[in-house]
């Protein structure tokens, strides 16, 4: 490839770029600077060498397992959210009388805060709630059913709060695919299942990967529901909880920063893997021709 | 699906839609036609005339509100599109953007479970037929509009369907490519020897491609005939207007003698050919600009004195707008030079002044 540019190709400075200045300042002041400050802080431990915090994290038995504890919650929650949102959004892609109503109902949880959801779940899913009572009457499981203050409580809450997000995102991807492609496939002999498998799924794959990443990052930083609905001392001692404890119970901001950096790094690894897989799929316009 | 067939019969095929204000209207009203194997049928009409609706009904993409479709003795209007096995070419091509040219064309064969080896051979043949050999590994986005359209045609015909449906396949191409691809479509139709139904709003396309033309308006069939008939003998005023009978003037009927009819509007007299039964004294006479001649007619018959109003230069000839003594505006094509304000005498042969019953325009 010829990389030399002709003098004509060098555009004069575009003054409209200045419009981006306030936003850039805002980002620097509220995001980039705090991030870099935290990164720097994580290498300035109270005692020991510059990597002492990281060393401590990966050796302390109450710290490093939080990575897996959080992954054990965030990955299933993300898979469930994307997995359920996909068929429902696919069904909702065509305009119908009920589409608006159903979409509204599905999206309502996004407007509720995690704390409100947790509060509602504590009564509804709690041991005295009628759901647990009804489930106990059914002959599937012996003994008391506990859906709060354990792993399941947090998982359910992550699904409730994360689903609308995944649903809306996937719905927008699906409605962006020209329905005439599926009609063309049908005239070529593709059954509805084959249309989904060969047309919709491959075209949606990059969008699904994106949706997975965003939903995962959101779930991995779970905090309030892990405390309110989980068992914060054990099975749902998530990584953000460890950071919180370090910062506000031990007043070790430096360690807390290190934990936050590790948390971000784990998220980055998962996102990188998923986006790497996305590269295997077609990425481009999802319409079949002109117009 | 039966690959070899003798005829496709549409019997009173109707499609209703809910219109504005909840009122249902017939987008397609009782279309009845029998299409023979090997025939090329064009559905012709302005946008909104129901021609695409008809095509979608045949393809199975729209359920019928009434009527039946039969392929020989098999009733197919109750089958989903994937069971009908007709090849369809869409206006916007509808190529699968994530599949290579090869995989696009082979899609229908894969859906039919055709072996990989046979698929490869048939795809290669189809590529040769549409002259795209060498492009098989490209994605549709890397092709030009004309090439994309040819891929769409190859994809529809590689499954060797009994019927190929084409929905304005040339409307996105530029004028030169349109004429080239038109010839291509006709050639492919002949090579396959099956039936083609072709939707268009372009008379030239319909005239040059079709064995028979179905002219439609507001969901209702106006005329089904050979192109020569449609062009020279339109069945009614709508068809005439659509086929380029640009000059339509209202006149009174004076007398009918055999196959001629005498018309009059104050001082202007014309003799024309009746195309329809006339319900009253009022008639509409339709003439093509190309069939009005400058100069007096034989023995001064069917001759009008006019004044030139506009001249549109068009290369080989000019389109001249004139006004008659009664104030009627006419257009004619002539190679003679004329200037606004000139006085001319023009005439039209009686057999080319077609007389119709007045219809609401």
* pLDDT bracket for residue B336 (50, 70, 90): confident
Strands B268-274 and B354-356 turn out to be: parallel
Quick check: B44 and B214 in contact, CB under 8 A? Answer: yes
Beta-carbon separation of A188 and B96 below 8 A: no
Tokens describing residue B274: 């009746």
What are the start-end ranges of the E strands in B158-314? 163-167, 195-200, 212-217, 220-225, 247-257, 260-265, 268-274, 282-287, 293-294, 303-313
| Tokens 């695409």 sit on residue | B52
* pLDDT bracket for residue A261 (50, 70, 90): very high
User: Could you give the percent of chain B with pLDDT greater than 70?
Assistant: 98
The answer on pLDDT for B296 being more than 70 is yes
Q: Which of A189, A203, A289 is the closest to B140 by Cβ?
A: A289
Mean pLDDT for A59-80 is 92
Higher pLDDT, A208 or A112: A208
**What is the least distance, in Å, from the CA of A281 to any CA of chain B?**
8
Contacts of B148 in chain A (CB under 8 A): 289-290
Contacts of B159 in chain A (CB under 8 A): 188-189
- Give A133-175 pLDDT, tens digit per residue: 777 777 776 667 778 888 988 999 999 889 998 999 999 999 9
Beta-carbon separation of B80 and A186 below 8 A: yes
**What is the least distance, in Å, from the CA of B331 to any CA of chain A?**
36
Is the residue at A92 inside a domain?
Answer: yes
What's the CATH code of the domain at A101? Answer: 1.10.3720.10
| Tokens 């030009």 sit on residue | B144
Contacts of A183 in chain B (CB under 8 A): 61, 81, 90, 94
State the greatest distance between any 2 C-alpha atoms of chain B, in Å, as a whole number.
Answer: 77
Is the residue at A70 inside a domain?
Answer: yes
Is the residue at A130 inside a domain?
Answer: yes
**What is the least distance, in Å, from the CA of B164 to any CA of chain A?**
10
Beta-carbon separation of A289 and B94 below 8 A: yes
Higher pLDDT, A109 or A59: A59
Contacts of B93 in chain A (CB under 8 A): 288-290
CA distance linking residue B271 with residue A111, whole number of Å: 78
Beta-carbon separation of A289 and B82 below 8 A: no
Contacts of B147 in chain A (CB under 8 A): none
CA distance linking residue A68 with residue A238, whole number of Å: 8
Count of Cβ atoms closer than 10 Å to residue A101 Cβ: 10
- Give A82-123 pLDDT, tens digit per residue: 999 999 999 888 777 788 888 888 888 888 888 888 888 888
* Region for A100 from its dihedrals, namely left if φ exceeds 0, alpha if ψ lies in -120 to 50, beta otherwise: alpha
Counting Cβ atoms within 10 Å, is residue A22 exposed (0-12), middle (13-18) or buried (19+)?
A: exposed
Beta-carbon separation of A282 and B139 below 8 A: yes
* Of residues B206, B326, B199, the one with CA closest to residue B266: B326
* pLDDT bracket for residue A1 (50, 70, 90): very low
Contacts of A199 in chain B (CB under 8 A): 96
Cβ-based contacts under 8 A for chains A and B: 101
Count of Cβ atoms closer than 10 Å to residue B136 Cβ: 18
Interface test with A, best of B105, B110, B111 (most A CBs within 10 A): B111
Q: What is the pLDDT of residue B360?
A: 60
Q: What is the pLDDT of residue A235?
A: 82
Contacts of A208 in chain B (CB under 8 A): none
Structural domain for A215, as ranges = 62-278
- Give B139-187 pLDDT, tens digit per residue: 999 998 888 988 999 999 898 888 999 999 888 888 888 888 888 889 8
CA distances (Å), origin B180, targets A181, A262, B144, B150, B184: 26, 63, 15, 11, 6
Strand partners, B200: B44
Is the residue at A16 inside a domain?
Answer: no
Q: Reduce the DSSP state of residue B253 to 3 states and report it.
A: strand
Quick check: A95 and A106 in contact, CB under 8 A? Answer: no
Contacts of B59 in chain A (CB under 8 A): 187
Residue of B nearest to A206 (CA): B98
What is the DSSP code string of A20-33? GHHHHHHHIIIIIH
User: Could you give the percent of chain A with pLDDT greater than 70?
Assistant: 93
Phi (first) and psi of residue B249, to 5 degrees: -125, 150
Long-range contacts of B122-127 (CB under 8 A, 24+ apart): B122/B158, B123/B154, B123/B158, B125/B158, B126/B154, B126/B155, B126/B157, B126/B158, B127/B101, B127/B102, B127/B154
Helix axes A253-278, A52-59, angle to 10 degrees: 70
Q: What is the pLDDT of residue B2?
A: 45
Number of domains in chain A: 1
**What is the least distance, in Å, from the CA of B61 to any CA of chain A?**
7
Q: Reduce the DSSP state of residue B165 to 3 states and report it.
A: strand
Instruction: Count the residues in chain A.
Output: 291
Average of per-residue pLDDT values in chain B: 89
CA distance linking residue A80 with residue A85, whole number of Å: 8
User: How does DSSP classify residue A223?
Assistant: -
Q: Which of B82, B96, B165 is the closest to A288 by Cβ?
A: B96
CA distances (Å), origin A241, targets A60, A229, A281: 15, 13, 37
Is the residue at A284 inside a domain?
Answer: no
Beta-carbon separation of B159 and A289 below 8 A: no
ipTM of the prediction: 0.82
Quick check: B286 and B238 in contact, CB under 8 A? Answer: no
**What is the least distance, in Å, from the CA of A166 to any CA of chain B?**
24
The answer on pLDDT for B35 being more than 80 is yes
Beta-carbon separation of B172 and A288 below 8 A: no
Q: Which of B61, B94, B172 is the closest to A288 by Cβ?
A: B94
Chain A positions with Cβ closer than 8 Å to B: 178, 180-181, 183-191, 194, 198-199, 202-203, 281-282, 284-291
Phi (first) and psi of residue B356, to 5 degrees: -125, 160
Q: What is the pLDDT of residue A92?
A: 86
- Give B261-288 pLDDT, tens digit per residue: 999 888 888 899 999 888 888 999 999 9
Beta-carbon separation of A188 and B159 below 8 A: yes
From the centroid of its chain, how far is CA B39? 15
* N-terminal to C-terminal alpha carbon distance within chain A: 32
User: How does DSSP classify residue A35?
Assistant: H
Beta-carbon separation of B92 and A284 below 8 A: no
Is the residue at A47 inside a domain?
Answer: no
The answer on pLDDT for A10 being more than 70 is no
* Of residues B227, B231, B247, B238, the one with CA closest to residue B304: B247
Residue of A nearest to B109 (CA): A188
Mean pLDDT for B304-332 is 91
The answer on pLDDT for B1 being more than 50 is no
The answer on pLDDT for A8 being more than 80 is no
Contacts of A191 in chain B (CB under 8 A): 82
Q: Which of A178, A189, A285 is the closest to B111 by Cβ?
A: A189
Is the residue at A145 inside a domain?
Answer: yes
Is the residue at A173 inside a domain?
Answer: yes
CA distance linking residue A186 with residue B192, whole number of Å: 22
User: How does DSSP classify residue A200?
Assistant: I
* pLDDT bracket for residue B310 (50, 70, 90): very high
Strands B343-347 and B303-313 turn out to be: antiparallel
Q: What is the pLDDT of residue A11?
A: 67
* pLDDT bracket for residue B194 (50, 70, 90): confident
Average of per-residue pLDDT values in chain A: 86
């Amino acid at each position: 490839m010829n990389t030399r540019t002709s003098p004509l190709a060098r555009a004069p400075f575009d003054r409209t770029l200045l419009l981006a200045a306030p936003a850039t300042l805002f980002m620097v002041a509220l995001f980039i600077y705090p991030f870099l400050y935290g990164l720097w802080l994580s290498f300035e431990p109270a005692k020991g060498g510059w990597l002492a915090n990281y060393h401590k994290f990966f050796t302390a038995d109450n710290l490093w397992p939080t990575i897996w504890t959080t992954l054990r919650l965030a990955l299933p929650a993300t898979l469930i959210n994307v997995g359920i949102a996909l068929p429902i959004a696919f069904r909702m892609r065509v305009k119908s009388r009920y589409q608006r109503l159903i979409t509204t109902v599905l999206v309502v949880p996004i407007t509720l805060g995690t704390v409100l959801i947790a509060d509602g779940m504590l009564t509804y899913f709690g041991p005295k709630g009628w759901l647990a009572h009804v489930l106990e009457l059914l002959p599937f499981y012996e003994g008391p059913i506990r859906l709060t203050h354990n792993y399941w409580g947090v998982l359910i809450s992550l699904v409730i709060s994360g689903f609308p997000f995944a649903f809306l995102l996937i719905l927008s991807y699906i409605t962006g695919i020209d329905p005439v492609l599926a009609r063309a496939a049908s005239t070529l002999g593709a059954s509805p299942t084959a249309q989904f498998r060969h047309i919709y799924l491959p075209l949606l794959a990059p969008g699904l990967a994106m949706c997975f990443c965003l939903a995962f990052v959101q779930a991995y930083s779970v905090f309030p529901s892990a405390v309110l609905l989980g068992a914060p001392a054990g099975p749902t001692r998530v990584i953000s909880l460890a950071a919180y404890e370090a910062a506000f119970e031990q007043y070790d901001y430096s360690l807390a920063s290190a934990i936050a950096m590790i948390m971000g790094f784990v998220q980055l690894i998962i996102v990188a893997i998923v986006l790497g897989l996305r590269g295997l799929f077609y990425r481009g316009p999802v319409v079949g021709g002109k117009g | 699906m039966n690959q070899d067939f003798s005829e496709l019969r549409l019997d009173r095929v109707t499609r209703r839609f809910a219109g504005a204000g909840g009122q249902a209207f017939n987008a397609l009203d009782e279309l009845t036609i029998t299409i023979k194997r090997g025939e090329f049928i064009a559905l012709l009409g302005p946008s909104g005339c129901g021609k695409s609706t008809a095509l979608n009904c045949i393809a199975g993409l729209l359920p019928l509100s009434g009527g039946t479709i039969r392929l020989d003795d098999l009733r197919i209007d109750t089958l989903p599109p994937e069971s009908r096995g007709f090849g369809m070419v869409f206006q916007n091509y509808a190529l699968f953007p994530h599949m290579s040219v090869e995989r696009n064309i082979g899609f229908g064969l894969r859906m039919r479970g055709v072996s990989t080896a046979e698929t490869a051979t048939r795809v290669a043949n189809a590529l040769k037929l549409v002259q795209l050999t060498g492009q098989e590994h490209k994605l549709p986005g890397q092709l030009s509009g004309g090439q994309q359209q040819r891929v769409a045609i190859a994809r529809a015909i590689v499954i060797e369907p009994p019927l190929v449906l084409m929905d304005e396949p040339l409307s996105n191409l530029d004028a030169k490519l349109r004429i080239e691809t038109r010839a291509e479509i006709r050639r492919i139709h002949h090579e396959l020897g099956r039936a083609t139904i072709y939707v268009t709003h372009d008379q030239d396309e319909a005239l040059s491609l079709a064995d028979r033309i179905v002219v439609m308006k507001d969901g209702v069939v106006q005329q089904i005939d050979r192109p020569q008939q449609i062009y020279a003998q339109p069945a009614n005023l709508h068809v005439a207007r659509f086929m380029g009978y640009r000059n339509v003037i209202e006149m009174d009927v004076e007398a009918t003698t055999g196959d001629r009819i005498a018309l009059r509007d104050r001082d202007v007299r014309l003799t024309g050919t009746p195309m329809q039964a006339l319900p009253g004294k009022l008639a509409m006479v339709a003439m093509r600009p190309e069939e009005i001649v400058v100069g007096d007619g034989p023995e001064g018959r069917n001759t009008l004195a006019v004044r030139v109003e506009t001249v549109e230069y068009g290369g080989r000839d000019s389109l001249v707008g004139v006004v008659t003594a009664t104030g009627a505006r006419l257009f004619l094509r002539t190679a003679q030079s004329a200037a606004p304000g000139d006085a001319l005498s023009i005439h039209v042969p009686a057999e080319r002044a077609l007389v119709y019953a007045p219809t609401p325009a």
